[in-house]
Amino acid sequence: MTKIGILGAGKIGLAFARHTARAGYDTILSNSRGPESLQAAVAEIGHCIKAGTTEEAATADIVFLSVPWQHLEEAIAPVSSWEGKLVIDATNPVLPGMVAAPLDGKPSSQVVSELLPGARVVKAFNTLLFSLLASDPHEAGGNRVVFYSGDDPAAKKSVLEIISRLGFAGVDLGTLQDSAKLQQFPGGSLPGLNLIQLK
C-alpha cells in the first residue's frame, strides 16, 4: 500500500489524514512542533496513522503539503532533497489577515515547484472548505469533486488513484501553468465550490 506523509497538521492536513488513514493508507503526520504534539490527534484518528518528523513524513511515497504560506520555506527546510518525490500541493498563497501573497504573476504551485527542485508537484485538495473536505465525500448519490493539475502524467495518475480511493471524484484541469490559477485562493474561480459528480 502507498505510504503518505503529511507536512502540516492544521485543519486541512488533519482532514486529509482522517481520509487516508480510514482508506487504509499508511500515513505519517508531521508538523513543526514535533511528533509529541500530535499524539492526541493520531490517537483520535486511529487506523493506519502515526506521528513523525518532517524528515520521516518526506520519506513517504507521496507527500501532502498543507502548511500556511508564510511558513512554507521553513516547513520544507529539513528535507535535504526533493528529487523525484511526488508532492500534493494543497497550499494557498494567503498571508495573515487574508492578504494575497506576492507571486510575480506565477501560479502558486509553480512557486512551490521552484522551492522543491526535482519534485513532481500536483495541485489538489486546496479548493474545498475545511468543513467539506472533512465530511463524507459521498453526497446526493454522487461523489464530491476534487480538482487536480500537474505537469507529470504519472504523478497525476497516482494522485487520481488516491482521490478515487478516498471516495472523491477527480477532475483533471491540465498543467500547473494553464490551470493552477483556477484552483488557487485568492483569485481562482474554483475554491469554495461544492460540486458533486453523479454516478
pLDDT band for position 188 (50/70/90)? Answer: confident
Q: What are the grid coordinates assigned to 175, written together?
A: 498543467
Whether the predicted pLDDT of 180 surpasses 80: no
pLDDT at residue 47 tops 90:
no
Helices vs strands, H then E, count in the chain: 8, 12
Query: Taking Cα atoms as reference points, which of 177, 164, 181 lies closest to residue 127?
Result: 181
Kindly state the percentage of the chain with pLDDT values over 90.
85
The number of CA neighbours under 13 Å toward the Cβ of 132 is 17
What burial class does residue 141 get, using C-beta atoms within 10 Å of its C-beta: 0-12 exposed, 13-18 middle, 19+ buried? exposed
Enter the DSSP assignment of 101. P
Instruction: Please report the pLDDT score of residue 186 as a whole number.
Output: 85
List the single range of 16-25, 37-46, 171-180, 189-198 with lowest mean pLDDT: 171-180
> What structural domains and CATH numbers belong to the chain?
3-198 (3.40.50.720)
Give pLDDT tens digits for 143-165: 999 999 999 999 999 999 999 99
Q: What is the rounded CA–CA span in Å between residue 109 and residue 177? A: 9
Other C-beta atoms lying within 10 Å of the C-beta of residue 126: 26
